Amino acid sequence: MMQCGYGRVVNLSSGGGSFGESLGLAAYVVSKTALNALTVKVFQAVHGDVKVNAMCPGWVRTDMGGSGE
């Protein structure tokens, strides 16, 4: 991406990785917080038309998320 001067990176994160919503399983929160920090660092390191973002989809019905909000 850097050589081409163009690219998109989208990391799938969670509100659990933000300081405002950091309640939940410790390992999950730590991993999402680390992913968010990595996203910021990569964003700061790239140049050209390379975009780096983290997307937090919100609640998803899974074994971990449960059957309802």
**Per residue in 4-52, pLDDT tens?**
999 999 999 987 776 555 566 788 888 888 999 999 999 999 999 999 9
Contacts 24+ apart (CB under 8 A), 5-9: 5/47, 5/48, 5/49, 5/50, 6/48, 6/49, 6/50, 7/49, 7/50, 7/51, 8/50, 8/51, 8/53, 9/39, 9/42, 9/50, 9/51, 9/52, 9/53
The confidence score (pLDDT) of residue 23 equals: 61
pTM: 0.75
According to the model, what pLDDT value does residue 18 have?
67
pLDDT of residue 62: 80
Q: What is the pLDDT of residue 69?
A: 58
